[in-house]
Structures are given as structure tokens and as C-alpha cells.
Amino acid sequence: MKQSDTGLLIAVIILILFSALFSAIETAYSSASKIRLKNMANDKVPGASKALKILDNFDQFLTTVLIGNNIVNITMATVGTVLFTHIYGDAGATISTIVITVVVLIFGEVTPKSIAKQIPERFAIKTAGFVRFFEIIFVPLNLLFKGWRFLVQKAINLQPEDSDISDELITMVDEAEKDGDLEQHESDLISAAIEFNDEDVRDVLTPRVDVVAVDLGTPLEQVERVFRLNSYSRLPVYENSIDNIVGVIHEKDFYNLYYQDKERSRGILRKIIKPVIYTSENTKISALLKQLQAAKLHLAVVLDEYGGTQGIITMEDIIEELVGEIWDEHDTVKEYYEKVSDNTYLVQCDADIDDMLERFGVEPEEDEYDFITVSGWVIHELEHIPQIGDEFSYQNLHITVTKADQRKVIEIKVEINPKKEEDAEDD
């Protein structure tokens, strides 16, 4: 081999190394986690802050790397053609194309990108100075391509997509759970915390019809009986009507009063009544939790648009949205679903409608609706207060009312029919 050919071969090898480096850098910065890099920067890891700055202007970085990689690959193809032409004559161009293509694919693309994919943050940090050097050299070309990008975006009216950070975080948590980095209970807790601020009071409250409360003038014997039969630690107190809840009494305060006041005088509950917070159904539970903490209270009354009582919500109700159901010794586990056969279930109608539809693999036909419970859903579908025996079909579900009273549906029978072929294809 001539000395000039040796120089050309060395040049090809150097260009392959540069091609591999540019390809690895592109993959490393595309795969690197900003969160991990920020943690490294906070820990004073050398190069982490510089890598973060490069990622903050990703368009400029990508243009720089693509320009560098294309210059290297085109130069390599040219030098390779000259080298192989010197060695093999007229067949050199064909041989060069084959050899350079294989070499670039193996050593300039696949291998370096695979390595960088495994250690993106470390690779990005180590090469931050290299990238910054070429960003400075290619400033004129970057400006040229920046103007070209602007013209293209205007020409095709390209608008950036709005990103939902909450959805992205939940996806990251799901992926971490699948990869084994998080246990399921940890994943559920993090997801609940992310979605916590999206929950409204209306999604959590105890409705008015289920509220156990006492009148301000109720004799102490009757109040004691309500405490004993319901095992609640607190009871709302109203004056004349449940639409006028004036406070709450604690079980401990009540029994101290009950055993000290021998006369059992009427209206004595005023001595132990504690204030409550009033809120609306559209209040975020995260905001209400802060109000309850600031006021050092455990219960809020939810008012409807007319100022009447729509229901109540406790601090425990809110916390359960984060950590799941909290059971004590007196709680009874309620089963909302009873399996009758393989495709038939009895469903209690105070169950959550979203939970029921998800359980039976049904997508709701409306994006938003005003009802929360299965009872509200059945009334919405039938468009009247249902009676026992009323039935209707909803997608592949056949619903029959099995228990009802004059105000609401108590229980339904759900029969699951096989989905039609076109529905299955859509899914």
C-alpha cells in the first residue's frame, strides 16, 4: 500500500470514529432524563449543568449534531472512494460503497447508539464540552437552518402540541413499575398524588341522603343512640333542617357531657358544638384539605347552588383519595359486585360509575357527565326515576333494575353480552 493510501485509510478510520461519536451523542441527549441531569447538577457532578443547558436548546443541539454527522459521513464516502479506486481501479467505487455502508452501519450507527442508549446521562455529561465546541463553530449554519425551520413552520402552519405534564408523569410511573423500579403500591401512591389536584369535592363527598346528623334540640339519649348505632366519631348538627348544618359534635365531648349533665337539658349540645367549613362541589379536594388543616377541622359541609346541604366531606375522605381506603375496627366492608354467573352480576347502585364501566370493559359514550354513582347513571339512561323491572341496553351491557325506592335505584342486574365483531375490531 502506498504512503498516500495509508494516509487515506487513517483518515477513513478517524472519520468513522467521529461518525460514531456524533451518532452516540445524538442518542445520548435524546434519551437523557432532564430530572436525572438536574439531580446530578445539584450534586455538583462536573458537566451536568453544561449538558442541561444544551438540552434546554435542543433544536440547536440537534442541528449541530446532524450537520457534523453528515459532513463526516459524506467526507468518509468521498475519501473511501478515492482510497478503493487507488487500490482496485474501476471497481473501487462499487467496493467503496459496499464497504463504507457496512462500516458506517455497524461502527458509525448501530454500535455507538446502542452503547449510548444504556448510559445516556453519563455519556451526555462526558461529551458536553465536545458538543458545545461544535455548536460555536456551526453558529452561522445553525442560524441559517433556524431561519429555514421558521419558514417551513409558517408555510405548513405547524403548531407545537400542548403537553400534559401529569399524563407524562403517570406514564413514567407506569413504565417504572413495569421495569421493576417501583412496587405496585408505590406506583399507585405516586399516581394518586399526581391526580390528587384533579379531584373535585363532588367526586368524594357523602351525599345528603346518606348523611347521619342530629338536630340541635335532640335529647341526649337519642344522640347517644345515634352514636352507638352508627359508630361515628363525629356527628353533624343542624338547626330545624339539615339544610342548616351549624356545626359538628365529637363523640368524646358528647360522652363527657352525657355523663356529667344529669338533667339531660334540651339544647345543651350548644356547649360542645364545633364549627365546620362550608364549601362547594366544584372545590378541588387539595384546596379543601389545606383549608381544613389551617382551621384544624375534620369536616366540611358541601352546599348546593341554592345554599342547601348537598352532602359532607371529611379529612379522612380526602386522604383516602391518596392512600386508598382506611379501615378501622368498626368499619364493615361493603361488596358492590356480586357474581351470579360468568356474565351476570348484581351491582349496588351507590358504586362509582367509572369503576363499574371500567370493570366491565366499557368505554363511556359521553366525555363528561354530571352523575357519579351507578344510580345516577341508570336514572340518566332511563330519563325517569326507575322502578323494579325497568331495563335498557348500553353497548354490550343489558341492565335490569332489581331494587329501587321512590328516590333512587338500589341494585341492578348487569348481563354482559359478547361484543360484536366490528366493536372488537375498533377496540
What residues form DSSP beta bridges with 245? 238
**At CA 80, angle to CA 79 and CA 85, rounded to 5?**
100
**Contacts for 143-150: CB closer than 8 Å, 24+ residues apart:** 145/63, 145/67, 146/59, 146/60, 146/63, 149/59
How far apart CA 109 and CA 23 sit, in angstroms, is 6
The residue whose grid cell reads 347521619 is 212
Stretch among 71-75, 142-146, 223-227, 305-309 having the lowest mean pLDDT: 142-146
Contact 302, 281 (CB under 8 A): yes
Distance CA(84)–CA(103), nearest Å, equals: 14
Confidence of residue 164 (pLDDT cuts 50, 70, 90): low
User: Do the beta carbons of residue 110 and residue 39 sit within 8 Å?
Assistant: no
Whole-angstrom Cα distance, residue 203 to residue 285? 9
In whole angstroms, give the CA distance from residue 320 to residue 390.
35
337-426 CATH: 3.30.465.10
Closest CA to 418 of 400, 396, 398: 396
Q: What is the mean pLDDT of residues 123-127?
A: 91
8 Å CB contact between 60 and 142: yes
Residue type present at position 283 = T
State how far the alpha carbon of 13 is from the alpha carbons of 92, 103, 254, in Å: 18, 10, 88
pLDDT in tens, 265-281: 566 788 889 999 999 98
Residue by residue, DSSP assigns 141-200 as HHHHHHHHHHHHHHHTT--PPPP-HHHHHHHHHHHHHHTTSS-HHHHHHHHHHHHGGG-B
Q: Which residues have a Cβ under 8 Å from the Cβ of 151 and sit 6 or more positions away?
A: none
Per-residue confidence at 1, pLDDT binned at 50, 70, 90?
Answer: low
What is the spatial distance between Cα 302 and Cα 201, in angstroms, rounded to a whole number? 8
pLDDT, tens digit, 9 for 90 and up, residues 370-409: 788 888 889 988 888 888 999 999 888 999 999 988 878 8
* Confidence band of 299 (pLDDT split at 50, 70, 90): very high
Of the given ranges (124-128, 144-148, 282-286), which has the lowest mean pLDDT?
144-148
* pLDDT tens digits along 8-45: 889 999 999 999 999 999 999 998 888 888 888 888 88
Rounded to an integer, what is the distance from CA 201 to the centroid of its chain? 19
Q: CA 251 to CA 330: how far, in whole Å? A: 14
261: left (phi over 0), alpha (psi -120 to 50) or beta: beta
Least confident of 79-88, 158-167, 177-186, 197-206: 158-167
Sequence length of the chain is 427
- For the domain with range 201-323, which CATH number is right: 3.10.580.10, 3.30.70.1400, 3.30.230.10, 3.40.50.300? 3.10.580.10
Helix and strand numbers (H, E) in the chain are 18, 12
The tally of CA atoms less than 13 A away on the side-chain side of residue 398 is 8
**pTM of the predicted structure, to 2 decimals:** 0.57
Instruction: Take residue 96 and report the three cell numbers written for it.
Output: 467503496
